[in-house]
Amino acid sequence: MASELISVSATAQSTASAEAVFAALASGATWPQWSAIKKFSLESPGSDGAEGVGAIRLWNSGLMATREQVVELQAPSKFAYTLLSSKLVMVRDYRADVTVTPTDTGCTVVWSTVFRPKLPGTGWFWKLALSKLGASLAKGVAEYAAKA
**pLDDT, tens only, 51-76:** 999 999 999 988 889 999 999 999 99
3 state DSSP class of 6: strand
CA distances from 15 to 30, 31, 59, 112 (A): 18, 19, 27, 20
98-132: buried (b, 16+ CB within 10 Å) or exposed (e) per residue? Answer: bbbeeeeebbbbebbbbbebeeeeebeebbeebbe
Nearest to 139 by CA among 108, 115, 106, 114: 108
Report the predicted TM-score, pTM, of the whole model to 2 decimal places. 0.94
Name residue 73's beta-bridge partners: 79
Provide mean pLDDT across the span 99-120.
98
pLDDT of residue 2: 65
- How far apart CA 133 and CA 79 sit, in angstroms, is 16
Q: pLDDT-based confidence at 12, cuts 50/70/90?
A: very high
Q: In what side-by-side order are the strands of the sheet with 78-86? A: 6-14, 106-117, 91-103, 78-86, 65-74, 56-60, 39-44
User: What is the CATH number assigned to the segment(s) 6-147?
Assistant: 3.30.530.20
pLDDT of residue 1: 53
- How far apart CA 128 and CA 132 sit, in angstroms, is 6
Q: pLDDT-based confidence at 100, cuts 50/70/90?
A: very high
